[in-house]
């Protein structure tokens, strides 16, 4: 203490007091293995689990909707996760900062619990951060399937992760890896393809969302690379795309061989790529509800595939184990948790869920080992992703939301996803690429000037919307106007009558028609016809002027009856906010390269009809798509 001696007396006492205070406070802040990021993840999980009460464990298994969430509720019930359902936003057109404030507000409730376990906020970001105003809306999965470009899917995943993190959210319910075998299904656009090989390839979106597993780390364990990445969720396990007549949430009749070969196939890839969660399907397999299927959840996914992330239920998924739903909720909890579901998307009546599960455990209907398995899996993901070290978001990533770079990426995806199905009567007289220079062109159709329609369901609202004020983007009409020669007159008539079309001397016409937005069961269709006035617009226009028909649809629709009148036909799927990509290709700045990710049927009575079927007689086969070369600038 030689230096202390040389100091004055009063200051040295002060130093001693300060030193003592520091020492006391350090000694009081108890060291916890689970709070030490230098400890291996599984050691932290074990330590934390050993400190938790039953109440705290059950809280971790509970996911609630933001509408019923508050810092107090999270704190009082130890809630492990909060979600935004489709269209559930802090306020209309909320800014990224408002989202961050909301998520952090909830998080503070969790961080002030005894063990300070952070909650995990989740949202459906199924084609970009689709609930959020001004986010980049990418084409829906069916369109990504048409690009045949898994690296593009990966880049979209990375961009989506940044936009989701921009709003303070670290978890997405994506990707949907359904293998849609019948386009009558209302969720067919959420599926990359009818071909399991193509869906498997598109699981590259997972390393885009979560980050690439370093070559020296183990595969097939949950992996999230940090604050720029998000937890992903492969859904809906399993057989969601195989239901009879494509009826949503219905029964998939299939042999075990077909189930594993068709619908299970993408999960092999998803698990190897470290997907951190898997969502269970509402549907049944051979009459057994997937939410109650212990053999496939615990037996196959956890034990055979060695999936080490957590299994989440779908929205009120356990309720729907009984029909009518919620008939016997105690039984639903027993069957669902017993089957191996780790986190339950309750999402509203958490008190009922928590008391039901608590009493099932106390009465030993559900063993503690099942609860510990569930909680260990959830905690493993929370530790792996760094949530304990970074539970609160800041505003620094807000700049990524709807960034120009992401919009360019979405535009590229649109260009690569368009499928050219017909181009003139013969190869000698192609209509596309369209000339940019023309005296007067007609743009017609319900979908030409409607951002909501071109984005489809799961955009801003669960069911999607109509109109151009819902979010930022470029309609196909404005894209056309941006692209043609400044001297070309572009006339827009949504629904012109045939006399009008005849009377005006148009050089050519572009007709943009399609399906109205829908999601889930609302999209189920037995006839797959284009709603009126789509067909009459095609007829009125194409009868008297050379026309390109651009279909804005989530799936193949009935088109054969109109095909002879149509000069050129383009499947544009649901392209999202960046409509400029459509004009880029129509006018030849880029060539067409997209290939059908689905079989295009002639008539609905052929369905289901998929590539490889014995009786295969499509209008356009799987993989079809004419190509064009970029035009020389004129
Ligand atoms: C859908 C899921 C979705 C969940 C949360 C359910 O109705 O089936 O795909 O992730 O809602 O919005
Ligand atoms: C929610 C969706 C959910 C659906 C399920 C809606 O109210 O907003 O997220 O998928 O219910 O039925």
How far apart (Å, rounded) are the C-alpha atoms in residues 590 and 41? 48
- 373 catalytically annotated: no
Q: Are 339 and 304 in contact (CB under 8 A)?
A: no
How far apart (Å, rounded) are the C-alpha atoms in residues 299 and 369? 16
Which atom number of ligand 2 is nearest to the Cα of residue 124?
9
The predicted pLDDT at position 408 comes to 99
Which of 342, 520, 524, 578 is labelled catalytic?
520
Taking only the tens place, the pLDDT of each residue in 32-76 is: 999 999 999 999 999 999 999 999 999 999 999 999 999 999 999
Query: Half-sphere exposure of residue 508, counting CA atoms within 13 Å on the CB side?
Result: 22
- Cα angle 201, 291, 58 (rounded to 5 degrees) comes to 105
What 3-state DSSP class applies to 585?
Answer: helix
For residue 119, give both structure tokens.
């909650």
How far apart (Å, rounded) are the C-alpha atoms in residues 271 and 371? 22
Which of 124, 283, 312, 318 for mutating ligand 1's site (highest number of atoms within 8 Å of CB)? Answer: 124
Residues with CB under 6 A from ligand 1: 85-86, 124, 173, 235, 314-315, 520
The predicted pLDDT at position 81 comes to 99
Convert 16-32 to b/e letters by CB count within 10 Å (16 or more is b).
Answer: eeeeeeeeeeeeeeeee
Q: C-alpha distances in angstroms, 94 versus 70, 126, 132?
A: 18, 19, 7
Compute, in angstroms, the gap from residue 249 CA to the centroid of ligand 2. 13
Contacts of 428 (CB under 8 A, 6+ apart): none
* DSSP-derived pairing of the beta strands 81-84 and 62-65: parallel
How far apart (Å, rounded) are the C-alpha atoms in residues 154 and 163? 14
The predicted pLDDT at position 7 comes to 46
Q: C-alpha distances in angstroms, 295 versus 235, 290, 372?
A: 18, 10, 19
Which of 63, 68, 85, 283 for mutating ligand 2's site (highest number of atoms within 8 Å of CB)? Answer: 85
Instruction: Please name the residue whose Cα sits nearest to atom 4 of ligand 1.
Output: 315
Query: Half-sphere exposure of residue 321, counting CA atoms within 13 Å on the CB side?
Result: 22
The predicted pLDDT at position 427 comes to 76
Q: List the chain residues with pLDDT less than 50.
A: 1-8, 634
Residue for token pair 């356990």: 318
The predicted pLDDT at position 631 comes to 85
The predicted pLDDT at position 20 comes to 59
Q: Are 117 and 382 in contact (CB under 8 A)?
A: yes
Which ligand places an atom closest to the C-alpha of 291?
1
Compute, in angstroms, the gap from residue 525 CA to the centroid of ligand 2. 19
Please tell me if the CB atom of residue 462 comes closer than 6 angstroms to any atom of ligand 2.
yes
How far apart (Å, rounded) are the C-alpha atoms in residues 223 and 385? 7
Q: Which long-range contacts (CB under 8 A, 24 or more apart) does 606-609 make?
A: 607/182, 607/183, 607/184, 607/245, 607/246, 608/181, 608/182, 608/246
For residue 583, give both structure tokens.
């004009």
Instruction: Please name the residue whose Cα sits nearest to atom 12 of ligand 1.
Output: 85
Compute, in angstroms, the gap from residue 315 CA to the centroid of ligand 1. 6
How far apart (Å, rounded) are the C-alpha atoms in residues 288 and 13? 76
Instruction: Please name the residue whose Cα sits nearest to atom 7 of ligand 1.
Output: 315
The predicted pLDDT at position 233 comes to 99
What 3-state DSSP class applies to 569?
Answer: strand
DSSP letters spanning 264-278:
SHHHHHHHHTT--EE
Which ligand places an atom closest to the C-alpha of 122?
1
DSSP letters spanning 237-268:
ETTGGG-GGG-TT-EE---HHHIIIIISHHHH
Compute, in angstroms, the gap from residue 471 CA to the centroid of ligand 1. 22
Compute, in angstroms, the gap from residue 129 CA to the centroid of ligand 1. 14
Of the candidates 353, 402, 381, the one whose C-alpha atom is nearest the C-alpha of residue 65 is 353
The predicted pLDDT at position 529 comes to 98
- 65 catalytically annotated: no
The count of other CB atoms within 10 Å of the CB of residue 631 is 16
Which ranges of 363-450 does DSSP label H, i.e. alpha helix?
Answer: 368-384, 404-417
The predicted pLDDT at position 26 comes to 56
Which of 56, 124, 195, 314 is labelled catalytic?
314
Determine the angle formed by the axes of helices 150-166 and 404-417, rounding to 10 degrees: 150
Which atom number of ligand 2 is nearest to the Cα of residue 315?
5
Of the candidates 596, 581, 475, 578, the one whose C-alpha atom is nearest the C-alpha of residue 138 is 578
* DSSP-derived pairing of the beta strands 288-289 and 284-285: antiparallel
How far apart (Å, rounded) are the C-alpha atoms in residues 456 and 440? 30
The count of other CB atoms within 10 Å of the CB of residue 67 is 11
Which ranges of 282-403 does DSSP label H, i.e. alpha helix?
Answer: 294, 329-339, 350-362, 368-384
How far apart (Å, rounded) are the C-alpha atoms in residues 335 and 393? 36
The predicted pLDDT at position 425 comes to 87
Query: What is the chain's alpha carbon radius of gyration, rounded to the nearest angstrom?
Result: 27
How far apart (Å, rounded) are the C-alpha atoms in residues 258 and 16? 75
Dihedral through CA 322, CA 328, CA 331, CA 333, nearest 10? 90
* Cross-strand pairs, 237: 280
Compute, in angstroms, the gap from residue 278 CA to the centroid of ligand 1. 12
Compute, in angstroms, the gap from residue 236 CA to the centroid of ligand 2. 15
- Cα angle 29, 31, 36 (rounded to 5 degrees) comes to 120
Which atom number of ligand 2 is nearest to the Cα of residue 520?
10
């Amino acid at each position: 203490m030689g230096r202390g001696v040389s100091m004055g007396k009063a200051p040295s006492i002060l130093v001693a007091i300060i030193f003592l205070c520091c020492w006391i406070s350090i000694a009081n802040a108890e060291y916890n293995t689970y709070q030490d990021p230098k400890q291996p993840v599984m050691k932290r999980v074990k330590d934390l689990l050993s400190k938790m009460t039953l109440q705290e464990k059950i809280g971790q298994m509970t996911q609630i909707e933001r509408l019923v969430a508050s810092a107090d509720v999270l704190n009082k019930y130890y809630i492990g996760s909060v979600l935004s359902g489709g269209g559930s936003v802090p306020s209309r057109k909320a800014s990224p900062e408002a989202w961050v404030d909301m998520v952090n507000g909830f998080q503070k409730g969790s961080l002030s619990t005894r063990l300070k376990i952070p909650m995990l906020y989740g949202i459906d970001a199924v084609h970009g951060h689709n609930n959020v105003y001004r986010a980049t809306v990418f084409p829906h999965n069916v369109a990504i399937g048409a690009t045949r470009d898994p690296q593009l899917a990966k880049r979209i995943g990375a961009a989506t992760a940044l936009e989701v993190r921009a709003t303070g959210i670290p978890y997405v319910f994506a990707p949907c890896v359904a293998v849609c075998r019948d386009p009558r299904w209302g969720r067919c656009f959420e599926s990359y393809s009818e071909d399991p090989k193509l869906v498997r390839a598109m699981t590259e979106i997972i390393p885009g969302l979560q980050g690439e597993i370093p070559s020296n780390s183990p595969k097939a364990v949950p992996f999230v690379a940090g604050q720029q990445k998000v937890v992903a969720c492969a859904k809906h396990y399993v057989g969601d795309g195989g239901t009879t007549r494509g009826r949503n949430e219905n029964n998939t009749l299939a042999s075990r061989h077909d189930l594993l070969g068709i619908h299970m196939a993408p999960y092999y890839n998803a698990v190897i790529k470290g997907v951190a969660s898997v969502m269970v399907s509402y549907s049944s397999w051979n009459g057994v509800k997937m939410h109650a299927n212990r053999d496939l959840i615990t037996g196959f996914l956890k034990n055979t595939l060695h999936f080490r992330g957590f299994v989440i239920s779908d929205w009120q998924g356990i309720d729907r184990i009984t029909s009518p739903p919620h008939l016997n909720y105690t039984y639903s909890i027993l069957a669902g948790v017993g089957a191996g579901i780790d986190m339950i998307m309750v999402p509203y009546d958490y008190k009922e869920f928590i008391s039901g599960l608590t009493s099932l455990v106390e009465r030993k209907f559900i063993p503690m080992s099942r609860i510990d398995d569930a909680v260990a899996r959830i905690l493993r993901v929370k530790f792996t992703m760094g949530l304990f070290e970074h539970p609160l978001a800041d505003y620094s990533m807000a700049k990524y939301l709807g960034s120009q770079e992401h919009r360019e990426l979405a535009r590229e995806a649109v260009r690569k996803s368009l499928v050219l199905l017909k181009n003139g009567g013969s190869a000698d007289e192609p209509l596309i690429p369209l000339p940019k220079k023309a005296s007067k062109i007609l743009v017609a159709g319900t979908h030409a000037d409607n951002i909501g329609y071109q984005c489809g369901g799961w955009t801003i609202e669960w069911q999607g919307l109509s109109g151009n004020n819902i979010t930022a983007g470029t309609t196909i009409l404005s894209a056309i106007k941006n692209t043609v020669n400044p001297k070309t007159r572009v006339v827009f008539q949504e629904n012109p009558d045939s006399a009008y079309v005849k009377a005006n001397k148009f050089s050519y016409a572009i007709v943009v028609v399609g399906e109205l937005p829908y999601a889930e069961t609302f999209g189920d269709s037995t006839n797959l016809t284009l709603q009126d006035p789509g067909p009459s617009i095609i007829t009125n226009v194409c009868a008297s002027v050379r026309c390109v028909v651009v279909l804005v649809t989530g799936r193949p629709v009935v088109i054969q009856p109109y095909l002879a009148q149509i000069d050129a036909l383009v499947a544009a799927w649901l392209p999202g906010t960046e409509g400029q990509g459509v004009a880029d290709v129509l006018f030849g700045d880029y060539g067409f390269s997209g290939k059908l990710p689905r079989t295009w049927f002639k008539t609905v009575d052929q369905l289901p009809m998929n590539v490889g079927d014995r009786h295969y007689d499509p209008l356009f086969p799987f993989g079809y798509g004419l190509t064009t070369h970029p035009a020389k600038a004129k």
